[in-house]
Structure 1
Amino acid sequence: MEPAMKHQYRLGIDAGGTFTDFILADREGALRIFKALSTPQDPTLAIRNGLALIEEETGITPRDLVSNADLCINGTTVGLNALITHTGAKTGLIATRGHEDSIEIRLGHKEDGYRYDPDYPPATMLVPRHLRCGVGERVISTGAVHTPLNEEEVREACRHFLREGVESVAISFVWSVLHPDHELRAAQIVREMMPDVRLTVGSQLYPQVREYTRTSTAIVNAYLAPILSRYVQAVDGYFQSLGARQPVRYFQSNGGLALGSVVSDQSVYAINSGPASAPRAALYLGEPYGLEDIITVDMGGTSFDITLTREGQANVSKNIDFLRYRIGIPMIQVETLGAGGGSIGWIDSMGLMQMGPQSAGSEPGPACYGKGGERPTTTDANLVLGYLNPEGLVGGRLPLGVEKAREAIRKHLAEPLGISVETAAYGMFTIVNNNMVNAIRRVSVERGYDPRDFVLNCAGGATGAHITALAREMGIGKVLVSKLASGLCAFGQIISDVKYNYMAPIAARLEGAEAARRLDETFARLEDRGRADLMADDFAPDRIGIRRSLDMRYVGQVHECTVSVDPFAIDEAALERLKAAFHARHEELYTYAEPHSPVEVVNVESAISGAVERPARMRIASGHGAHAALSGTREMIFDASGRKHETPVYDGAKLGAGDVVTGPAVIQEVTTTIVIEPGWVAELDGNGVYVVTVASGAAGTQGQAKVLAEA
């Protein structure tokens, strides 16, 4: 049994593009979700508004909540927004002379998908050319010094940065990971001459082979560090003023928690922190059923995020182009596209209907919000199709206008295409679903996984209306929908562990006792450091876990692939286990392996985690049959014909454990709406999760008729 929470409460906060979600857990196992509109202009304002909402609904004051919480956890989009809008700090780069333009050369090509597109514009440089300073120094690939560091040129770069008002500096030299002394000395000079700037040293932030990736990662970190530092300072100060007993933890893109001081220094880890907690929540939901292969889809107001776990491990990406910038550090792979409740429907130059990526966001929002939005959105389509409650969302706090939705669809889509409003609405629904299905394939099929082997997990406030349609399109036969689905990422934060990544370069063929000794000693050094850091953070040794990964390739290959393994002593015989794991992963990714070819390792990494005590699971009392929760019926449309079907609507708050709802039906929870399409059955279990499966033939229709008759 897991230990109980140390204090009365635990609070998770996840800031999204439209809403900021709050999950409040108490010692007795009660879990509640709250939503406040996000405030991108001042992210801390949304936190204050959310705590005020919690007080309004529960009577618990912000001070009582925070001072009696064992953990307050924040997933923030501050770094992501700064990168999207290019509003980070004014940044300077000190590089090896001749390599100042490596971030612009970008290995000689554009991002995948645009490599041969002559009209695709170049990426905006986070460090403009006049703030990239080359200095004399050179280390060669053996780690030997070819040219000593010219310290006067470093000082001249500092003087130039001071004149230009630079706020943050990145240092990245060629082969610095094999001989970091030049970078460390340059950093010392920068600190002496520019004591007020944020400083990022490439070989410390990302000690891995590949100079372009290391330089780009260091620049992104430097660009975001002042922004994240100010944000952390503001949030930490606010929670301290409320009497916080524990420091605020921040969620990282690697899927773990970190202290604010770490996020301030390693800001690149906070870029995509919100959706990165979804895999942890998914595994927690799947645990009672023994489910470890789960695809989680999260549709909010602005975007659609997909994550995947296989055999209990989340997909982790390294060395990827994120928002057009190469980032090397490990990040939970999150596929994101502009497909949210606010995605706008439009007609392209060929007369075809399209959905997104433009979004109405929360201001002015979909037409049905009545806040001035005039363009038709996904939410408007779902309202016209009958899926959403016209009385309003979020427990009636957000009323919806059906006529405004119909008028927007009629004016901008139905009349220009010569079709009915209902057909246009179902077309919008279908197109946005197809967009999402294509994105799901990118994290599954394109990484060597068959989505039919996975369970689909629902997250986000808007996903419930689409979840069975997505499962149907993907050939997935089982869906999980938690009562906390609309705030699942915030929930994932409160059950996540503290996690740090420790890296080292190591070039070695996986052959012989010497290679085994080097690998074993390198991992031991990294993991000793990780254990010491976590024990200093009050984690007992028995609550510290380790997961290893190696960047490996066949000798002669240009690129490597990452192989994750559990820790074990590495001797000459154990090298065969590593090679076997590499061959299997290579075949998964590329459909072939070369078991007789020699294998080499380039980089290694240890992910060290400190296990955080989890709150108790949600408990749902046994139900009295779905008929007891039937609140009425509503006309709904389930196909392109536009025909309306009188469909039962259930109040999720009145459903109990064991109650079964057979589609077509809608289950209305306070913060989400779940559409159960014809041919699907949902059963609520005692953990507060709807397990939705394909119905068995005509039995589904008969069961639905029985429920309606009983009601």
Structure 2
Amino acid sequence: MKSQYRLGIDAGGTFTDFVLAEKSGQVRLYKALSTPQDPTLAIRNGLQLMADDLGVPASEIIPNCDLCINGTTVGLNALITHKGAKTGLICTAGHEDSLEIRLGHKEDGYRYDPDYPPATMLVPRYLRRGVRERVLSDGTVRQPLTEADVRAACEIFRAEGVDTVAISFVWSVLHPEHEARAGEIVREMLPNVVLTLGSELYPQVREYTRTSTAVVNAYLAPIMRRYVQAVDAYFRSLGAKQPVRYYQSNGGLAVGQVMTDRSVYAINSGPASAPAAGQYVCDPFGKRDVITVDMGGTSFDITLTKDGLTNINKNIDFLRYRIGVPMIQVETLGAGGGSIGWIDEMGLMQMGPQSAGSDPGPACYGQGGKLPTVSDANLVLGYLNPDGLVGGRLPLDYAKAEQAIRTNLADPLGMTVERAAYGMFTIVNANMVNGIRRVTVERGYDPRDFVLVGAGGATAAHITALADAIGIDTIVLPKLASGLCAFGQIISDVKYNYMATAPLRLDNDAAYARIDELFAQIEGQGLAHLQADGFGKQDTRVKRSLDMRYVGQVHECTVDIDTFQVDAQSIGQIIAAFHKRHEQLYTYAEPNSTVEVVNIESTVYGVVEKPGRMSIGAGASPDKALKGHREAVFTADGKRIHTPIYDGTPLGAGATIHGPAVIEEVTTTIVIEPGWTARLDESGSYLMTRDGRKGDR
């Protein structure tokens, strides 16, 4: 790092987090309320907090940053609320309804439910225009492109005010010329629309997946373009010397132009950095099996890392839309600090997924919220400081929290406010535990073999209760927990995925040469891209994978390989790796069956220099950091316990605190349930263990 700072910004549904790291490893964390109506406003507010703290204007901080990195929910929110751009689709005639047919598939859990409604179409039927052209599965042209049909589609799009167009033809990955020519016509007739070509964005076999991915990308592209232009312009006005980098859902950084062209990679931008951060904070303890959980104001995100490797999803249904490009596997559910408590038609208490968000927010925020939320429950239970959060900058109103719980839950259910609040706490924890089980037990992992890492501002109040419920003995909770995803951004590398389709049987020499040729082509593109971005050859690395299957199978599995030359001598390594992976996934292999490749992929990395590691030195002992006591509830009977409250800021390395207790950090509150112990490690994380079990380094 030649400059003094590196800045990471993570825009969540309720708060936007800012992490400013110095080359030495010192890290500062700031939080500002998110502003969904104008996401750049939250960035301005956060930089003002930073300027006030450092005593210098933002125009002096930003030029001293080697990288400014932005993780955003703009694309995700547009997809959730169906407020993307007006989109047109040009496809092969006869395939206008493939988006709606969806391969005849309903999501798991609803497959046999006749009342489950169809997904909302991002492109209405009248804006899906078929053109006469046809390419066969061997890449030969059966019917040339009818250019008049493309021009007719453009006339309709112009009349309808379409902002963005996706083009996806059958077997275009083997003969992309038709899509390329159609794209030229669209650019000629509609020069102001944003254009997405399926064969460029997702050059892989599977027409429905490619078309759906292209449509989602097109739907989000104008939104992302406006956002990127606004953010880039703002940082340039502050004197930024490097272009802003944006965090992608594949777990890497990209420049703004890439996020505009490949907007689909922005969907899970925020939580995708959690695994990198979780692994980083666990490295000092030698832990490589990690579950990272991030509870913010709106949602609860879960990621899993096994043996230091994080699962990557491809070809999945996300918010009911099929997306083919690689994405960090994130399990998300509506369980955040703003999740609302309510009573169902059976008279039972429920939590979420509805959220109060940042506007009006929980009742205790005093901004007009009237419904009881998790944050209100945590305040009533004695976990949160009534004087306020974020160092007192966000005051809390205990009376309004108590009134919201009493009116909406306690009185209707005939119980005390304390018991109702603990019921809210328990139910939202159960929802989160079910989510953790989905990424562990349901995928063959025993959660008790993992370390639980806490991220997000609200997680620390629930972390020991979650570990108890899931059977985990060790928790790593960094002081930076509430901004851990923003921290994950500043320790990540630039990352681009390049793909090619290669439907080849691995029983002839021509296949080996073709695979090697395709890898060389796509990696050449990627390395050239990184070189233009300022990376030297010594700062780049490549990771390869192939989608493979036995001849006759419908679905394939992804196999990682090293970057060796693919020839008659090395092909055996690839086939052996496929047999092994197939057996891992499906419990059997067929060594005597012929294997074929369907797609190939190369991931290219531009390795970014990392800031120094944070270090905590000697400081106050727990008795010196004791602020006082609060009456807190830890059991379903609502009984209050005289609980010590510690100030986490002055605590030094080695400080050990036994539960029940509460540690108040500037941007998060750590609740240590009875039976747990927290020890502050020199790396800046609390190592939390069940009493009787020592965490090892």
Q: TM-score, normalised by structure 2?
A: 0.97
State the percentage of identical aligned residues.
Answer: 70
Work out which of the residue numbers 611, 615, 631 in structure 2 matches 1:615. 611
Post-superposition shift, 1:563?
2.8
Match of residue 601 from structure 1 = 597
User: C-alpha distance in 1, partners of 2:435/2:587?
Assistant: 21
- By how many angstroms is 1:447 displaced? 2.8
Alignment-derived partner of residue 218 in structure 2: 222
Instruction: Indicate conservation of the 8 Å contact 2:198/2:214, yes or no.
Output: yes
Partner letter of residue 185 of structure 1?
Answer: R
Q: Which moved more, 1:166-175 or 1:24-33?
A: 24-33
Q: How far did 1:573 drift? A: 4.8
Aligned to 2:348: 352
C-alpha contact 2:380 2:401 (8 A) present in aligned 1 = yes
Asked whether 1:320 is paired with 2:316, we answer yes
Q: Distance in 1 between matches of 2:341 and 2:434?
A: 18
Q: Which runs of 5+ in 2 are unaligned?
A: none
Question: Is the aligned partner of 1:167 residue 2:170?
Answer: no
Give, in whole Å, the separation in 2 of the partners of 1:303 and 1:690. Answer: 23
Query: What is the aligned partner in structure 2 of residue 683 from structure 1?
Result: 679
Equivalent of 1:387 in 383, 406, 423: 383
Equivalent residues in 2 for 1:62-461, closer than 5 Å: 62-461=58-457
Residue in 1 that maps onto 2:482: 486
Per-residue CA deviations over 1:148-182 (Å, capped at 9, x if unaligned) read 11111111111111111111111000000011111
Change in Cα spacing, 1:534 to 1:41, as seen in structure 2 (3 Å) is same
Counterpart of 1:531 (choices 527, 532, 537) is 527
2:442 corresponds to 1:475:
no
Report which stretch shifted further, 69-78 or 529-538: 529-538
CA contact (8 A) 2:24 2:613 kept: no
- The 1:431/1:573 distance shift into structure 2, 3 A limit, reads farther
Deviations along 1:590-609, one digit per CA (max 9) or x if unpaired, are: 44444554433211111101
3-state secondary structure, aligned to 2:265: helix
The answer on whether the counterparts of 2:620 and 2:650 sit within 8 Å (CA) in structure 1 is no
| SS of residue matched to 1:341 | coil
User: 1:447·1:588 contact (CA, 8 Å) conserved in 2?
Assistant: no
Letter in 1 for 2:476: L
Letter of the 2:239 partner, please give it. Answer: G
- Contact in 1 for aligned 2:87/2:219 (Cα 8 Å): yes
SS of match in other structure, 2:19: strand
1:548 alignment partner, one of 544, 553, 556: 544
CA distance in 1, matches of 2:587, 2:409: 43
What secondary structure sits across from 1:280 in the alignment?
Answer: helix
Aligned counterparts of 1:87 and 1:10: Cα–Cα separation in 2: 33
| Match runs of 1:663-702 below 5 Å | 663-696=659-692
Residue type of the alignment partner of 1:366: P
CA distance in 2, matches of 1:550, 1:633: 58
After superposition, the C-alpha distances for 1:682-708 in whole angstroms (9 at most, x for unaligned) are 1111111111112108x99xxxxxxxx
- Inter-partner Cα distance in structure 1 for 2:251 and 2:668: 25
TM-score (norm 1): 0.95
**8 Å Cα contact 1:448/1:589 also seen in 2:** no
Q: Does 527-536 or 573-582 show the bigger shift?
A: 573-582
Q: Secondary structure at the match of 1:508?
A: strand
CA distance in structure 2 between the partners assigned to 1:444 and 1:575 by the alignment: 33
Shift of 1:439: 1.0
- What SS class does the counterpart of residue 653 from structure 1 fall into? coil
The alignment partner of 2:101 has SS state of helix
The count of residues paired between Structure 1 and Structure 2 equals 695
Counterpart of 1:288, as a letter, is P
- Structure-1 separation of matches of 2:663 and 2:195: 52
Residue in 2 that maps onto 1:45: 41
One-letter amino acid matched to 1:51: L
The aligned counterpart of 2:491 is 495
2:610 and 2:567 map into 1 onto residues whose CA distance is 37
SS at match of 1:425: helix
Does structure 1 residue 634 correspond to structure 2 residue 627?
no
CA distances 1:73-97 after superposition (whole Å, capped 9, x unpaired): 1111111111111111111111000
Moved more, 333-342 or 81-90: 81-90
Deviations 1:15-67 (A, max 9, x none): 11001111111233221010111111111111111111111222121110111
* CA–CA distance in structure 2, aligned partners of residues 402 and 587 of structure 1: 56
CA 1:589–1:415 in 2, change beyond 3 Å: closer, same or farther?
Answer: farther
Distance 1:439 1:580 in 2: 34
Larger deviation: 623-632 or 146-155?
A: 623-632
Q: Which runs of 5+ in 1 are unaligned?
A: 701-711
User: Is residue 6–residue 65 contact of structure 2 (8 Å, CA) maintained in 1?
Assistant: yes
Segment of structure 1 superposing worse, 297-306 or 508-517: 508-517
Measure the CA separation in 1 of the matches of 2:353 and 2:580. 37
Residues 200 and 654 of structure 1, relative CA distance in 2, 3 Å threshold: same
1:344 maps to amino acid:
I
Distance 1:594 1:401, change over 3 A: farther
Task: Call closer, same or farther: CA 1:511–1:290 in 2, change over 3 Å.
Answer: farther
1:289 alignment partner AA:
F
Contact 1:448 1:588 in 2 (8 A): no
Change over 3 Å in CA distance of 1:585–1:478 after alignment to 2: farther
Q: Distance in 1 between matches of 2:124 and 2:309?
A: 39
Secondary structure of the structure 2 residue equivalent to 1:654:
coil
1:370 to 1:666, Cα distance in 2 relative to 1, 3 A = same
Cα deviation code 1:617-661 (max 9, x no counterpart): 112112453222221222222221222221211111021111111
Q: SS of the residue aligned with 2:649?
A: helix
Greater mean deviation of Cα atoms: 612-621 or 168-177: 612-621
Q: Are the aligned partners of 1:623 and 1:658 in contact in 2 as well (CA < 8 Å)?
A: no
Matches of 1:676 and 1:563, distance apart in 2 = 42
- Distance in 1 (CA, whole Å) between partners of 2:183 and 2:15 is 40
Contact kept, 8 Å, 1:511 with 1:575, in 2: the verdict is no
For 2:643, the equivalent position in structure 1 comes to: 647
Q: RMSD value over aligned CA atoms?
A: 1.7
Aligned-partner Cα distance in 2 for 1:521–1:667: 58
Tell me, yes or no, if the aligned pair for 2:629 and 2:643 is still in contact at 8 Å. Answer: yes
Q: Which amino acid aligns with 1:364?
A: P
Contact 1:447 1:589 in 2 (8 A): no
Question: 1:109: Cα distance to partner?
Answer: 1.9
Further displaced range: 13-22 or 547-556: 547-556
Q: Aligned pair in 2 of structure 1 residues 431, 565: CA closer, same or farther (>3 Å)?
A: farther
Q: Which residue of structure 1 aligns with residue 555 of structure 2?
A: 559
The equivalent position to 2:514 in structure 1, one of 509, 514, 518, is 518
